[in-house]
Structure 1
Amino acid sequence: MLAQILPGFRDFKTPLITGYLWLVIIWVGFGMPIPSKAENTGAMGMINWLTGYTSSATILAVLSFTAYVIGILLIVDVKIATRLVSRFGFTFQRQLNENGKKKWVRLPHRDNMSYRRSLANESGSTLLKLLWEAFTRVEEKNVPWSTIHKGYHLPEIDEAEYEELRQEAAGDRAEVDRQIRKNALRTLSPTLSREMDNEIPVLATKLQEKNKDLFDSYDRDRSEAEFRLSIAPPIAVLSAQLFLLGIAGNGILGSLFAATGLAMSIVLLRKGWLKVLDSTSVVVTALEIGTVTSHVIERLEGLEGKRPSVVIPPAITV
């Protein structure tokens, strides 16, 4: 029973608390007014009018609903954060350091040559390893380069260009075909890598059907990441407001509150980012062990290779 309630509570918690924080910011921005019982005009008069017809619990419910709607509009989209994590150079696995402790390892940027060389190395990301392994299987199947060019809309090679390449390879047609295929796969690598990055949220949805335990782990990490990343910005804004109020009043106290709030928001952003890494790691691990399959990999493996020619022996005459 509790396990069924918790996922719904996690989804409800983040927008509600985020909305309340933004309502506090609005309240502070308007000078923290407290409605007077004698006020009968404006927003404060409307509040007094409502209290005459409704209970405090009803007003709290309306306020909570308002906060919830504001929170839904302003929470951080974890899917975007997941794509940023996968695109800008972090691995999806924690690696052991010299002390035997796990830590996150950052890779060079995609445009860096050392990053490209890491495709087949153990330091490369799991997604790129899987893509590289799929390329290897394409080559082992001896898939014609024309099939790759046609299937992925790459520029065609005319006969004159092909003959020039064949002359450079000393007439070895098989070597020319192999080099063209390798160049085609190298050209496709950045595009297919981005497609796999964008596929992570879709794979997480598939994981819900394939493996409930892994999906629950992903969902917990995703919910915590969403909560931490969503409340960090309003805490930072509230800290700036307290700093400005401190300048007008007690500068030391205002500066202290502002510094504390900014430090909290930075820590929350960092912890939220790490939770995004954790949730992404769950999905990539499921992809690596075969629990879910990537459409990008399936499409590559669906390319038909050349069939070996069968030599029919001559008929035996009696």
Structure 2
Amino acid sequence: MLTQILPGFRELRTPLATGVLWLLALWVALGARVPSRAEAAGFARRVYDLAELVGRPGVGAVLIFTAYIVGSVVSIPANQLLREPPNDAWEPGNVLPDRWPIVQGRPVLMRYRSATVAAGYPAFADTRLLTQQAWADLQTHVSTNPLLLWLESHRSERHRDVAERILLRYVLEELGQLGTRLHAKNSTLYADHDRLMAEADLRVNVGAGVAVLAVALSARVTPLFLLTFTMSTLLIIMGMARARQANDVIVQALVIGEVTSTALTEADGAVEALNATTEPVEHPTVPMTQ
């Protein structure tokens, strides 16, 4: 029963904790402007009357619900901080598609416009979404794709290198979908991923909430509260590290075959299409002299 309750609790704790911190910051910033019960009139007076009618438990329930709503609005996924900014050089609008296989509706191989051909393709040697070990494992896994091997043997190492980078980006874009597939395929691995990601979201959003509260306290009380930015920064860094570990679980599930990537599957199918359409090269025959 506890295992059934915990996932639901993890869904509640991040927005609730975040909302409490933001409401505290709002109270510190604007609390002095709220009239006391003796000074209240009109709508403010009716609010005090309603609070007296429902009692402290009712007021507490309203505050908890409000904190949850506020936290749900202002919370951000920890993975959002790890996403690389889009590189325009890789966008379809800035490249000319070559006549090569299509994966997920996008050309696997692309070339620059003539003005930037000499610059080559942008570097893609690392990602903030994964730990170094998981990134190395993913690169090794993708490098064995039949499409890359076909390109290396039938075209050039450059074609293979570019296709590998693009496939790696496609796989990273699929992390969310891979997590959903893992949930259906292996609940134990998904539970590890979900727990780590929930801890990541909690640390990142609590860190951000502490920073907002520190700003409000420094403005109202003393600038010394800005020192708590150190704790806020540490919480956010710890949250990002947890998010990488959560993503690592998905990558390892992909490597061991628990889930499959749509991009890699379509790349496999592209090889079959290439083999079917590739015409064998005919070498001219030299007549033998007697």
TM-score, normalised to structure 2, is: 0.72
1:257 corresponds to 2:225:
yes
**Worse-matched range after superposition: 186-195 or 53-62:** 186-195
Structure 1 unaligned segments of length 5 or more: list them: 88-109, 116-121, 146-174, 247-253, 310-318
- Give the superposed CA RMSD: 3.1
1:207 corresponds to 2:182:
yes
Secondary structure of 2:199's counterpart equals helix
Question: Which residue number in structure 2 is paired with residue 227 of structure 1?
Answer: 202
Indicate which of 144, 157, 173 corresponds to 1:133: 144
- Going from structure 1 to structure 2, the CA distance change for 1:76 and 1:126 (only over 3 Å counts) comes to same
Secondary structure of 1:263's counterpart equals helix
Question: Which residue number in structure 2 is paired with residue 157 of structure 1?
Answer: none
Indicate which of 251, 273, 288 corresponds to 2:255: 288
The CA deviation at 1:290 is: 0.6
1:277 corresponds to 2:244:
yes
Question: Which residue number in structure 1 is paired with residue 154 of structure 2?
Answer: 178
Question: Which residue number in structure 1 is paired with residue 115 of structure 2?
Answer: none
Structure 2 unaligned segments of length 5 or more: list them: 88-120, 127-132, 281-290
The CA deviation at 1:255 is: 3.9
CA contact (8 A) 1:228 1:268 kept: yes
Greater Cα radius of gyration, structure 1 or 2: 1
Question: Which residue number in structure 1 is paired with residue 107 of structure 2?
Answer: none
Question: Which residue number in structure 2 is paired with residue 191 of structure 1?
Answer: 166
Residue type of the partner of 1:130?
Answer: H
The CA deviation at 1:240 is: 1.9
The CA deviation at 1:127 is: 2.3
The CA deviation at 1:189 is: 3.3
The CA deviation at 1:32 is: 4.3
**Worse-matched range after superposition: 59-68 or 185-194:** 185-194
CA distance in 2, matches of 1:239, 1:124: 36
CA contact (8 A) 1:11 1:223 kept: yes
Question: Which residue number in structure 2 is paired with residue 13 of structure 1?
Answer: 13
Residue type of the partner of 2:195?
Answer: R
CA distance in 1, matches of 2:81, 2:134: 22
The CA deviation at 1:244 is: 2.3
Secondary structure of 1:52's counterpart equals helix
CA distance in 2, matches of 1:81, 1:195: 19
CA contact (8 A) 2:78 2:200 kept: yes
CA distance in 1, matches of 2:19, 2:224: 25
CA contact (8 A) 1:35 1:48 kept: no
CA distance in 2, matches of 1:245, 1:222: 35
- The equivalences for 1:1-318 within 5 A come to 1-32=1-32, 36-41=36-41, 44-81=44-81, 83-84=83-84, 111-112=122-123, 125-134=136-145, 137-138=146-147, 142=150, 178-179=154-155, 182-246=157-221, 254-259=222-227, 261-303=228-270, 304=272, 306=275
CA distance in 2, matches of 1:194, 1:280: 14
CA distance in 2, matches of 1:40, 1:277: 51
CA distance in 1, matches of 2:79, 2:59: 34
CA distance in 2, matches of 1:12, 1:199: 26
CA contact (8 A) 1:81 1:276 kept: no
CA distance in 1, matches of 2:73, 2:182: 27
Deviations 1:146-180 (A, max 9, x none): xxxxxxxxxxxxxxxxxxxxxxxxxxxxx9x8226
CA contact (8 A) 2:203 2:236 kept: yes
CA distance in 1, matches of 2:65, 2:26: 16
CA distance in 2, matches of 1:113, 1:298: 22
CA contact (8 A) 2:215 2:225 kept: no
* Number of matched pairs: 237
TM-score, normalised to structure 1, is: 0.66
Question: Which residue number in structure 1 is paired with residue 108 of structure 2?
Answer: none
Q: Which has the higher contact order (CA 8 A, sep 6+)?
A: 2
